[in-house]
Amino acid sequence: MTAPLFPPISMLAELTHRCPLQCPYCSNPVELMKANSELDTKTWLDLFRQAADLGVLQVHLSGGEPTLRRDLEELVDGLAMRGVYTNLITAGVLIPPGRIHALAEAGLDHVQLSIQGAHADTTELIGHYRGAYEQKLETARRVRAAGLPLTVNAPIHRHNIEQVPEFIELALALGAERLEIANVQYSGWALVNRDALMPDREAVDRQVEIVTAAQERLRGIMNIDFVTPDYFATYPKPCMGGWARDAFVVVPDGTVLPCHAAQTIRSLSFARFGEHSLGDIWANSSAFNAFRGTDWMQEPCRSCERREIDWGGCRCQAMAIAGDAAATDPACIKSPIHARMAMLIEDAQTAAREHKGDEFVYRRITHAREPV
C-alpha cells in the first residue's frame, strides 16, 4: 500500500561541492557544481525557514567542505533561531583558529569530523592533501574546547580496513562521543574507484568481529555505529530511512533530492527550490513520489515481509547494478541478481592481484589545498 505522507524531520544541506580534499570515495557526483551555482545566503535562509515550517528538526550541513562558505555562521544562526538542531559535517582542514568557537557561539550543536586514516600517511594518500591528519586532530581538539559534541567518521575501504582497531582508539583519545565505521557506499566518485576501494570478504568479516566486540566493551563510553557494507550484506538497509519518508537532500544549486545519489536515476526530474516551495516539492514532486511507499515495488519486494522494513533498499544501487531503479536492491539475497555482488567483489580482488585497481581517480574542483 502507499505509505502515508509524513512531514520530513531531517535534511542534508550540501552547501557547496568545493573541497580542499580529493577523496576517491566521495559520494558527490562526478560532475561537481562550481561556486557560482551555489545558492546565496538569503536563499539558503529562506529554504531553512520553510524546512522548519515543514517540521524539519535537524539539518546536517555538508558539502564538499561547508566551512568554505563564509556565511556559515549566519546560516547556523538562522537555523538556531528556529530551534533546528545543526550538525556540521567537515573534513577539518583549512579551518582558521576561532572558527569553531564562532560557530558554537552562533548555535552549532554538533560536529562530525571525517578522518581518512588512523595514520597520517593513509589520511594524506586518500585525501591527497599534505598535513591533513594534523589539521584534523587540531580541529577535533578545538571542537572539544568549544564544548561541542564530536563524532569521528571513519570511511572504510580496502586501504584502511585493517586500521579499524586504531580508529576506535583514536576516537576515544579525541574524546568523541560517537564513532561511525562508515563502510564506503559506491556512488559518485566511489563508483568510479570501486575496484581500488573494495575490501575482500575476509577483511570485512574481521571488521565485523572487531567492531562487535568494541561496541560491547565501550557501551556507555562511546557509541559505535556500524552497518555491514552493502556488497557483503544479506539484506539491504533502507535508503535514507526509505525513499522520501522522513528526510531529503538539497544540493548546492537548490535542487531537492530524496537521496544524495538520486540524480543517477536519469528517468527522474528533480525540482529546484525557488522555482517551487519546499512543501510543494516534498508532497507533490514526481521524483519524490516515484518510490515512496510500496506501490511501485516489483516482486519479490512487493510480497516480502521486509517491504516496510527496508523499503526495497537503495534505488540508486538498483539502477547502477541492475539497470532498473525499481528492481530489488541487488544487496538483498532475494534479488535474482544478488550473485552479481559477489562477482563485483571478485572482479575488484582480481584487479588488486594484478595491480590494475590501485590507482585512484581523484575528484578535482578547487586548488584550495596544500601541494602534494
Give pLDDT, residue 3: 60
Residue 368: the pLDDT is: 40
Q: What is the pLDDT of residues 285-343, one digit of tens each?
A: 999 999 999 999 999 999 999 999 999 999 999 999 999 999 999 999 999 999 999 99
Count of residues making up the chain: 372
Nearest partner of 67 among 129, 123, 21, 25, judged by Cα: 21
Place of cell 587540531: 138
Burial 211-230 (b: 16+ CB within 10 A, else e): beebbeeeeeebebebebbb
Residue 23, annotated ligand binder? Answer: yes
Query: DSSP letters of 115-153?
Result: -S-SSHHHHHHHHT-TTHHHHHHHHHHHHHHTT--EEEE
Predicted pLDDT at 24: 94
Strand blocks (E) in 203-301 = 223-226, 247-250, 256-257
According to the model, what pLDDT value does residue 365 have?
53
CA distances from 94 to 29, 161, 213, 348, 353 (A): 23, 26, 35, 34, 37
Does 239 show up as a binding residue in the annotation? no
pLDDT at 357: 57
- Annotated binding residue 259: no
pLDDT digits (tens, 9 = 90+) for 204-228: 999 999 999 999 999 999 999 998 8
Give the CATH architecture of domain 10-232. Alpha-Beta Barrel (3.20)
pLDDT at 363: 77
> Residue-wise pLDDT tens for the chain (372 aa)?
456 799 999 999 999 999 999 999 998 888 889 999 999 999 999 999 999 999 999 999 999 999 999 999 999 999 999 999 999 999 999 999 999 999 999 999 999 999 999 999 999 999 999 999 999 999 999 999 999 999 999 999 999 999 999 999 999 999 999 999 999 999 999 999 999 999 999 999 999 999 999 999 999 999 999 988 899 999 999 988 899 999 999 999 999 999 999 999 999 999 999 999 999 999 999 999 999 999 999 999 999 999 999 999 999 999 999 999 999 999 999 999 999 999 999 999 998 888 765 688 887 754 443 322
pLDDT score at 371: 27
Domain boundaries defined on the chain = 10-232, 239-335
pTM for the predicted model, two decimal places: 0.94
Sheet containing 150-156: give its strands across.
223-226, 178-183, 150-156, 110-114, 85-90, 58-62, 10-14, 247-250, 256-257
